[in-house]
Amino acid sequence: MAQETFDYIVVGGGTAGCVVASRLAFNTDASVLLLEAGGSDLRPYVQLPIGYARLLFANSVNWLYETEPDAGLNGRRSFWPRGKVLGGSGSINAMVYMRGLRHDFDDWRDLGNSGWGYDDVLPYFIRAEDHDDGDPAYHGRGGPIHVSDVSRDVHPLCDRFLASCEALGFARTPDFNGAQGEGVGIYQINTRNGLRSSSANEHLRRARQRSNLTVRKHVLASRILFIDKRAVGVRYLQENREVEVTARRQVVLSAGAINTPQLLQLSGVGDGARLQTLGIKTLQDSPAVGRNLQDHLAVSYFYGSTVPTLNDQLGPFFGKVRAALRYLLTRRGPLAMSVNSGGGFIRSDPAKPVPNLQLYFNPVSYTRTPLSDRKILNPDPFSAFLISFNSCRPTSRGELHVSSSDPRVAPSIKPNYLSTERDLEEARTGCRLLRQIAATRPLADIITEELYPSPKVVSDDELLDDFRRRADTVYHPTCACRMGVDPRESVVDSRLRVHGLEGLRIIDASVFPTITSGNTNAPTVMVAEKGVEMLLEDQRSQDR
């Protein structure tokens, strides 16, 4: 059988890969192959907004990664779900639409990445967006991915939370992604008509009608094929059979912050000395591959309530029935939402130059079940809610590296949480701030007790120990193939070309130079929109 050849091969059908493959298919007559390790996203719990909690431990759509024991978490492992399905993690996430703050991208630019400042990337956020009613200076209409303003449907307790934050001096913002990103408010979410609005639904679904796009599911990329230093194709496993496909123009890695560095290392691009210990021949010694890994780490404080919460709506059998009927009839209500309702970006100290903490308010609680048993529709059988925080821009840096030459073996992930004094201080500060909010009216008026960690946890040492015992990822791994100027410290240049290699780009969250302040799905879409435009520009210049 003759080896198949395509103009472009995109590895990974996740958030970024669906954007890249569809834009290539629509904007050229070139043949495009998209390779995805998982299957279809046409599953009820993927499409139902609140159904994402059912997917947290579903191996049918999830890589189910675990980190190595981490000293910052008292030796605990951290569970890192990642989407293994068309749409990737954008098919199993909580759908919060948050771009990041202006200074996040200006910092990218100031690190030497020309063209990645806030004013440079804003047009790509706008292009990607179909917003309900946003300021046209900051928002798009008619783009692929829909952004819903759900402020009229959030639980009434959110108003109390926001009012208490305002009483403490934190400004109210109507739009985190508009002119004023700092402050507290209601999070916008990626839904359309009560269904998840992901890059698989909005980009890929339409592009698959194009004859020049081929999508292959349930195939695991095992190696990038090179001739000298030029990427010329991909080897993948399909039902334990090895298949090779070649690319006339370029190979694009969009496999995400874990799988992209893993595939590079399996292909001989990484720390040469470490690769050799696994019997992997080094093609290019690139020590930055898998390093600079960043993530957001959060902890929740739980409070009993004298007024009903979502626990009371979604716990009882008839409450579930009412919610289901409302959703079926109107596509609204708690089943059409993310439980991450309110929150914000605030400065723990007015002297801070930019917001340093992100807040979350969830009118629901799970104190009696471990993470692996939690389901959105089975909350605590009493009225309660939670408040969470994480550092916006943690300074701890982790790494990941393949632990075997077998692509089916998960890489070793070492987050190195809380490994800097700044991150430790922000952990202590954030814990005290959550209590300060809870002690402020009008939220304080309805609190019966602090359920976790309990009022007995008081001192700085006790707060930090509790944080180490209970804090966990917010599922935002990024930066493991960071963009930058120095090939020893970064993996791609500012046009997302892999340093030292030809015909190979990375377009996904792994190229973030630093983690953004907030949820990472929206900036990943932006990177994909900008990255594929640069790819096409360079290709047209080369073809002249």
Nearest to 61 by CA among 31, 34, 40, 32: 40
Residues with a known catalytic role: 476
User: Rounded to an integer, what distance in angstroms lies between the CA atom of residue 539 and that of residue 467?
Assistant: 49
User: Rounded to an integer, what distance in angstroms lies between the CA atom of residue 127 and that of residue 121?
Assistant: 10
User: Rounded to an integer, what distance in angstroms lies between the CA atom of residue 15 and that of residue 47?
Assistant: 15
User: Rounded to an integer, what distance in angstroms lies between the CA atom of residue 166 and that of residue 496?
Assistant: 41
User: Rounded to an integer, what distance in angstroms lies between the CA atom of residue 276 and that of residue 111?
Assistant: 32
DSSP state of 204: I
CB atoms under 10 Å from CB of 408, counted, come to: 9
User: Rounded to an integer, what distance in angstroms lies between the CA atom of residue 360 and that of residue 300?
Assistant: 9
Nearest to 218 by CA among 39, 373, 467: 39
- Residue type for position 46: V
Is 138:118 a contact under the CB 8 Å cutoff?
Answer: no
Cα distances (angstroms) measured from residue 361 to each of 28, 135, 431: 44, 25, 14
Q: Which residue has the tokens 């998209």?
A: 34
Supply the angle between the helices 118-127 and 102-110 in degrees, to the nearest 10.
120
Tokens describing residue 110? 């100031």
User: Rounded to an integer, what distance in angstroms lies between the CA atom of residue 421 and that of residue 419?
Assistant: 7
Q: Which residue has the tokens 């599911």?
A: 217
CB atoms under 10 Å from CB of 182, counted, come to: 17
> At a CB cut-off of 8 Å and minimum separation 6, what does 461 contact?
none
Cα distances (angstroms) measured from residue 530 to each of 98, 126, 492, 525: 17, 11, 14, 9
Phi/psi of residue 322, each to 5°? -60, -45
> At a CB cut-off of 8 Å and minimum separation 6, what does 523 contact?
99, 100, 104, 509, 512, 516
Is 343:268 a contact under the CB 8 Å cutoff?
Answer: no
Across 203-276, the runs of DSSP E, i.e. the strands, are 213-216, 220-227, 230-238, 241-253, 269-270
DSSP state of 483: B
User: Rounded to an integer, what distance in angstroms lies between the CA atom of residue 457 and that of residue 452?
Assistant: 9
Determine if the peptide bond prior to 136 is cis (ω within 30°).
no
Tokens describing residue 107? 């910092």
